[in-house]
Amino acid sequence: MEQPEPAHEHQGRVAVITGGGRGFGEAFGRSLAARGAHVVLADIDPAAGERVASEIRAAGGEATSYDCDVSDEHQVAAMFDDVVERLGGVDILINNAGLHSQAFNEPMANSGIDKLRSLFDVNLMGTIICTLAAAPVMKGRPGASIVNISSAAADGCQTAYGISKLAVRGVTVTSARELGGDGIRVNAIAPGLIFTDTIRAELPEAVVDMVKATQVIGRDGEEQDVVEAMLFLVSDRAKFVTAETLRVGGGLSIHV
């Protein structure tokens, strides 16, 4: 089957992206908007989300921003209700919002219960809450696809952050089983060391060198590498792919 031109690949589709005001979420939103989707950028920082949405609109794309905490089921439900009322439904959901700073790369005993609870509320429960809210309004829509953002840190499970991202993989499999009958595919991406602005600012050079030494591909991971994985998973090119976690880490987590 002939593929549509990239600029029109997602024409008329609605894509909800959590954590859409910065980092991967911003890059996902810009890329999908450039391919014709109306992108809905949900972010706990409304100014960040609106900045990206405004710039997308100024470039000729379609975008809406929402002030939304993914760990709050009432805010999430209200957002999806409004999106459906305005735009008619949802075709793509990218569960990208997450806590991932260096602050969580420490022993659990040092973090404290409140900090750990906030981590799991966002990284795990936020993914579950958004998936459950989106599923009824994605049901039966052609090419409906959910992409969760896991992490290569899940392979080692050396920190609470890694555990939270391992749980995202489990939720991906369970959601794919539960929603497959409704025509919704669910997959995940597990980025390795990707040089976003946050990573460049936070990670010590010694840590960067140590991680890169374990990669099979020696170059720096780039944000666009993760964007390309997302574009594949939400496209018809992946219409027979579900319940999978696609590692994007230059061979960092290589195993059989």
Catalytic residue positions, numbered: 161
Q: What is the three-class DSSP state of 194?
A: strand
Contact 25, 48 (CB under 8 A): no
Q: Is the separation of the CB atoms in 76 and 124 below 8 Å? A: no
Q: Of 187, 211, 213, 188, which is closest to residue 199 (Cα–Cα)?
A: 211
User: CA separation (Å) from 223 to 20, 71, 73, 136, 185?
Assistant: 14, 25, 29, 31, 23
**Helix (H/G/I), strand (E/B), else coil: 205:** helix
**Edge-to-edge strands, sheet with 14-18:** 62-67, 38-43, 14-18, 92-95, 145-149, 185-191, 245-248
Q: Where are the alpha helices (DSSP H) in the chain?
A: 23-34, 46-58, 73-87, 108-111, 113-120, 126-138, 153-156, 160-179, 197-202, 205-212, 223-233
Could you tell me the CA-to-CA distances from 204 to 134, 137, 192, 197 in Å, in that order? 38, 43, 16, 13
CB atoms closer than 10 angstroms to residue 155: 20
62 neighbors 38 (Cβ within 8 angstroms): yes
